[in-house]
Chains A and B, each alone.
Chain A
């Protein structure tokens, strides 16, 4: 079981229950729907920026998925809320490279904080997409929000 507890670290199980950010966001500057077609997991994320347009004021999401994808959305909300856009981009890049590591190396705790708990997920190729789901949605939201005012982008998977 030691193997499995490397994947399901207490922090991840905890986030999957707390679901920080769960709920539709009022007045978002951007929303994005992301779907994992292999399992049907999905998330609709909304992001609101502050008056200056350079800082994430609030994140809200509505999602349905496994503990990894929901915990990841929760951890992301905690990390990115209140952060300026440049830092959010760094977080996304840092999280993505950690998820591509296949369990190798050390995760960047200074940057990612609690989200380094997901380092163990990167060993499970079939679960990396679960962990990335909300981060891909956030990335699309940030791109749309900084490109224009209220923008809504389509899901990346279409017919």
Chain B
């Protein structure tokens, strides 16, 4: 990878890095593409695409199955990828479990807890056993991926699902959390950064509060790990989930982080080959983490490509990525705030937010807003962003979201704002 550090996007990241992303060179409806939908899925640099192909051309073989030289090569590549990802988030080697995506990672915990409640897992799984009188706490702002698995767990175990309420701007704070988390709380699950509001949760404070009440903490880190230096041990969370495709990596692979002792005690919800020590006709005993959770053939080339994405981000330096996005977030808020008829969700100007902005345009449905932007070459996300309860709470059904990443330029943010300012006029709504 060659990064030209002389010309820069807003003085922080190399301008030339855009050349690493073939996708970005496209046109959309006759305009240069402004890809402002990285919150949904990010584009991949050529090195990541090449890493996957290179692995397949030279190293592809079964992993952890057999004893040949080839299996040695593939297994080493697979486990090196795990080590690279572990280092990136402050985790130990046995604390990183491959999943299909973040949604799947959250489900591994929720389904494992349901198994524990059903009696599986022995005495060490007691910490996961929920029942009537116990409470699972989420927030009103969660992505469906971090809500529905807990609804199901509550339904299976008789536990009660409660939620931390959000304010009218969609944000919440430690006081709101403290009004819900208490003696009955057994698990608190929440997003580090909201994919709708860009709000940053007070993770360490919530983890401390939850632990004081003996509750476990699961962090949905989908919108944080790709965008800011993240160390799960420092944050003090017990579990965390994120997806490769939002951090310059491939689809088909996500990560479950868990504290080693907890992962070793969590019943594996999916079982089968590669997860076991001894199998008889009656029963099986399971390997420690991570193998106990990685049933069946794994997404090996995807793991290798994810590790390459991590190396790419490391080379950019996550602190710089974070500062670059901080600057873009400020610009987004500045540009959008001045447009008549626009309601910007999330933290007020001056309060830290991720480089994403969801807006409601008075009198124009989000689909129509998105279509207008599309015609100008600007790709955004429209809809409820998998957060129906949050939208309902804010009196909305759908919003339009622009989200930035390492390759996003200030010019693209300005194009978004300029086009947004024209939308109401186009649809005949008085400015």
Check if B382 sits within 8 Å of A4, measured CB to CB. Answer: no
Give the nearest-CB partner of B429 in chain A.
Answer: A17
A57-92 at interface with B (beta carbon < 8 Å): 64-68
How many residue-residue contacts, CB under 8 A, span A and B? 52
Chain B residues, Cβ within 8 Å of A67: 364-365, 367-368, 427
B15-72 at interface with A (beta carbon < 8 Å): 29-30
Chain B CB within 8 A of A127 CB: yes
Q: Mark B374-398, 1 if CB is under 8 A from A, else 0.
A: 0100000011100010010000011
Check if A40 sits within 8 Å of B365, measured CB to CB. Answer: no
Check if B428 sits within 8 Å of A40, measured CB to CB. Answer: no
Check if B371 sits within 8 Å of A124, measured CB to CB. Answer: yes
Chain B CB within 8 A of A39 CB: yes
Chain A CB within 8 A of B372 CB: yes
Give the nearest-CB partner of B383 in chain A.
Answer: A39
Chain A residues, Cβ within 8 Å of B29: 3
Which single member of B30, B371, B388, B391 contacts A7 (CB below 8 Å)? B371
Min CB distance B370 to A, Å, is 9
Check if B427 sits within 8 Å of A40, measured CB to CB. Answer: no
Give the nearest-CB partner of A130 in chain B.
Answer: B367
Count chain B residues whose beta carbon lies closer than 8 angstroms to a beta carbon of A: 20
| Assembled-state Cα–Cα distance A4/B371 (Å) | 8
Chain A residues, Cβ within 8 Å of B364: 67
Q: How large is the interface on A (under 10, 10 to 19, 20 to 34, 35 or more residues)?
A: 10 to 19
Chain A residues, Cβ within 8 Å of B426: 4, 8
Which single member of B30, B365, B375, B428 contacts A65 (CB below 8 Å)? B365
Chain A CB within 8 A of B191 CB: no
Give the nearest-CB partner of B428 in chain A.
Answer: A13
Chain A CB within 8 A of B366 CB: yes
| Assembled-state Cα–Cα distance A65/B365 (Å) | 7
Min CB distance A103 to B, Å, is 15
Check if A68 sits within 8 Å of B367, measured CB to CB. Answer: yes
| Assembled-state Cα–Cα distance A124/B391 (Å) | 26
Check if B383 sits within 8 Å of A40, measured CB to CB. Answer: yes
Instruction: Pick 18 A–B contacts, CB within 8 A, sort by A.
Output: A3-B375, A4-B375, A8-B371, A8-B427, A13-B427, A13-B428, A17-B428, A39-B366, A39-B397, A40-B391, A40-B398, A41-B397, A64-B397, A66-B365, A66-B366, A67-B367, A68-B367, A130-B367
Residues of B within 8 A of A (CB): 29-30, 364-368, 371-372, 375, 382-384, 388, 391, 397-398, 426-428
Residues of A within 8 A of B (CB): 1, 3-4, 7-8, 13, 17, 38-41, 64-68, 124, 127, 130
